[in-house]
Amino acid sequence: MGTENKGRHKAEQAAGAMKRKAGEAIGDEELQAKGRADEKRSRGKQAVDGAAQRARDAKEGIGDRAREAFDRNR
């Protein structure tokens, strides 16, 4: 799940950058703005995915430590 989204979000970011640069090249401010918005939206999605992964990792780590503590106290 995470790797698939990461690749998709990176592709969206690259598409936004291309859109922004195309707008710069032809002097189209609206296209530049859309490209910047796409880039920012993609970075936001990447940040959310990263936070979700860190939360899953933390949850897993807590579960592991709880099992270890339980096993030690048997």
Q: Give the pLDDT of residue 2.
A: 61
Number of domains comprising the chain = 1
Q: What is the mean pLDDT of residues 42-48?
A: 94
Q: Give the Cα separation of 23 and 36 in Å (integer).
A: 10
Global pTM reads: 0.71
What's the Cα-to-Cα distance from 64 to each of 9, 28, 38, 50, 70, rounded to whole Å?
A: 31, 54, 39, 21, 10
pLDDT digits (tens, 9 = 90+) for 13-39: 999 999 999 999 999 999 999 999 999
Look up the domain containing 51 and give its range. Answer: 2-72
- Find the length of the chain: 74
